[in-house]
A and B are shown apart, each in its own frame.
Chain A
Amino acid sequence: MGQRAFRRWYLVHKWTSLVCTAFLFMLCVTGLPLIFHAELDQTLGHTPPLATVAPGMPRPTLDAIVARVLANRPNEEVQFVEFDADRPVATIITGSSASAPESEAHLQPVDLRTGRFIAPPPRRAGFMFWMEEAHKRMFLGLGGTLFLGAMGLLFLAAIVSGIVVYAPFMRKLPFGTVRRSRSMRLRWLDLHNLFGITTAAWLTVIGLTGVFNTLDQPLADWWRSTQLSAMTAPYRDAPPLRRVGSVDIAIEAARRGSPGMKPLIVAWPGTFFSSPHHFNVFMTGDTPLTSKLLRPSLVDAATGQLTDTRDMPLLIRALFLSRPLHFGDYGGLGLKIVWALLDLVAIVILGSGIYLWLGRKPVPIEIRQAALATEAVSR
């Protein structure tokens, strides 16, 4: 690589890194507790242990559970039912109307074996809420999310340019060299290079999936206006729904339409993820891979007949897979610990980058590059 090309790549690395470092530092710090979301929820008492139930005890129907929840909230409508993937628990989500914003919704977890209500987790409060809001939106809604996506793109540019400028620095040094006997600055440059190049693949995956995840709301809008719209097209001119039928029948119909799958979320008629005439039962598979994907099943809310079920578009399936790949919560506690350690390494890379920039000398990069090569020869 010529000196001009090197200088250009170096400037790209310097400026893309400098612009996004503060935000990435925030993302690394707030992302750390999010890796252990499930464990921390348990520790903080957000998922209380379930009572022991005598074997053979008859289970209440979901219709009966929903009716009890609505009896407690007479002026509200059901929006969603979310089934816990690991426990016999469903959360009934209600709001002032089917289309009321998520921020105004009420959550009522219920033990599906007994119908007993479980204390709901704190809503829009508590340590994990603040961490999640900062990490995903910076408390700025969709604008904050998209801004973080732009910072993610700069981060990816910093990684690519970092890999390019790594080569000239390492032309005369063996892989993994840390020159401990030289100056502190040189030692940190070597550590920055070592940490950066060894974790480059992981950082790229985190960056790419992070950017992709910031597009989840626009992608949801796109899915709704394309696939969901096509699935509900036959009902476009149908008269308004008079009475919402049984959710138990709807789930059974969805099960028959997707054998081997189980329901994860049921969207009530009139909600964002359904139509005014349908329950949308989102089914999920039972393998490690398919359990991360959702398959919408539209059930006529009046008759309980399955009207359509399809695999989601590739882009949406990629989005579902990019979530676990970003947060590292898909391979057990061991992988989470590794993820956390890699996150700490990323913090060291950011910190050492800032240290190197603050301690820079007022000499052109070409001269510094030549000096580094000389140091390598004479070390």
Chain B
Amino acid sequence: MKAQSRTAWIIFRWPLLLGGLNIAGLLLGLVGNGMTDVIACLLVSSPLLVVAGRYAGKRGIADIGIPLS
């Protein structure tokens, strides 16, 4: 495989998206109630979903169709 040097944007775009979702979930849970709590819970758990998906899978997330890089 030929690896190419990646820009900071390419390296950090997915971490930034995850961080944004995470923060949005934290704040939504603070102001919301009922259904918004469920959405907040899902957003806060987004890093866990990525970790679980990546760690459990034999191949990378990139290999299962999500264009991560």
Having A163-B15, A376-B3, one finds 6 other A-B pairs with CB under 8 Å, namely: A174-B69, A194-B51, A195-B51, A199-B47, A334-B37, A341-B48
Q: Is the interface of A mostly helix, strand, loop or mixed?
A: helix
A349 to B69, CA, bound (A): 24
Closest to B19 in A: A201
Q: Are B3 and A330 touching (Cβ within 8 A)?
A: no
B-side residues, CB < 8 A to A, are 1-6, 8, 11-12, 14-15, 18-20, 22-23, 26, 29-33, 37-38, 40-41, 44-45, 47-48, 50-51, 54-55, 60-62, 68-69
**Chain A 91-127: CB-based contact to B (< 8 A → 1; otherwise 0):** 0000000000000000000000000000000000000
Q: Is A312 an interface residue (CB 8 A)?
A: no
Q: Are B11 and A170 touching (Cβ within 8 A)?
A: yes
A-side residues, CB < 8 A to B, are 163, 166-167, 170-178, 191, 194-195, 197-202, 205, 287-289, 292, 321, 324-325, 330-332, 334-335, 338-339, 341-342, 345, 373, 376-377, 379
Q: Which chain A residues border B61 with CB–CB below 8 Å?
A: 175-176
> How many Å from the CB of B31 to the closest CB on chain A?
5
A331 to B31, CA, bound (A): 9
Q: Are B32 and A172 touching (Cβ within 8 A)?
A: no
Q: Which chain A residues border B15 with CB–CB below 8 Å?
A: 163, 166, 175, 197-198, 200
> How many Å from the CB of A174 to the closest CB on chain B?
4
8 A-B pairs with the lowest CB-CB distances in the bound complex, closest first: A201-B19, A331-B29, A172-B3, A174-B69, A198-B47, A201-B22, A334-B41, A176-B54
Q: Which chain A residues border B48 with CB–CB below 8 Å?
A: 338, 341-342, 345
Q: Is the interface of B mostly helix, strand, loop or mixed?
A: helix
A329 to B48, CA, bound (A): 18
> Total number of A-B contacts with CB less than 8 angstroms?
118
> How many Å from the CB of B41 to the closest CB on chain A?
4
Q: A167-B8, A172-B3 are in contact. Are A191 and B60 (CB under 8 A)?
A: no
Q: Which chain A residues border B5 with CB–CB below 8 Å?
A: 171-172
**25 sampled A-B residue pairs with Cβ under 8 A:** A166-B11, A171-B5, A171-B11, A172-B4, A175-B11, A175-B15, A175-B61, A178-B55, A195-B51, A200-B15, A201-B18, A201-B23, A202-B26, A205-B26, A288-B31, A330-B30, A331-B29, A331-B32, A331-B41, A331-B44, A332-B41, A334-B38, A338-B44, A342-B44, A379-B1
A287 to B45, CA, bound (A): 24
A335 to B26, CA, bound (A): 9
Q: Are B14 and A175 touching (Cβ within 8 A)?
A: yes
A178 to B63, CA, bound (A): 13
Q: Which chain B residues border A176 with CB–CB below 8 Å?
A: 14, 50, 54, 60-62, 68
Q: Are B6 and A171 touching (Cβ within 8 A)?
A: yes
Q: Are A331 and B37 touching (Cβ within 8 A)?
A: yes
> How many Å from the CB of B7 to the closest CB on chain A?
9
> How many Å from the CB of A6 to the closest CB on chain B?
13
A54 to B14, CA, bound (A): 58
Q: Which chain A residues border B23 with CB–CB below 8 Å?
A: 201, 205
Q: Are A335 and B41 touching (Cβ within 8 A)?
A: yes
A178 to B57, CA, bound (A): 10
Closest to A173 in B: B3
Q: Which chain B residues border A373 with CB–CB below 8 Å?
A: 3
Q: Are B30 and A289 touching (Cβ within 8 A)?
A: yes
Closest to A374 in B: B3
Q: Which chain A residues border B60 with CB–CB below 8 Å?
A: 174, 176-178
Q: Which chain A residues border B41 with CB–CB below 8 Å?
A: 331-332, 334-335, 338
Q: Which chain A residues border B37 with CB–CB below 8 Å?
A: 331-332, 334-335
> How many Å from the CB of A243 to the closest CB on chain B?
43
Q: Which chain B residues border A330 with CB–CB below 8 Å?
A: 29-30
A332 to B54, CA, bound (A): 27
> How many Å from the CB of B61 to the closest CB on chain A?
5
Q: A176-B60, A335-B44, A342-B48 are in contact. Are A198 and B18 (CB under 8 A)?
A: yes
Q: Are A167 and B12 touching (Cβ within 8 A)?
A: yes
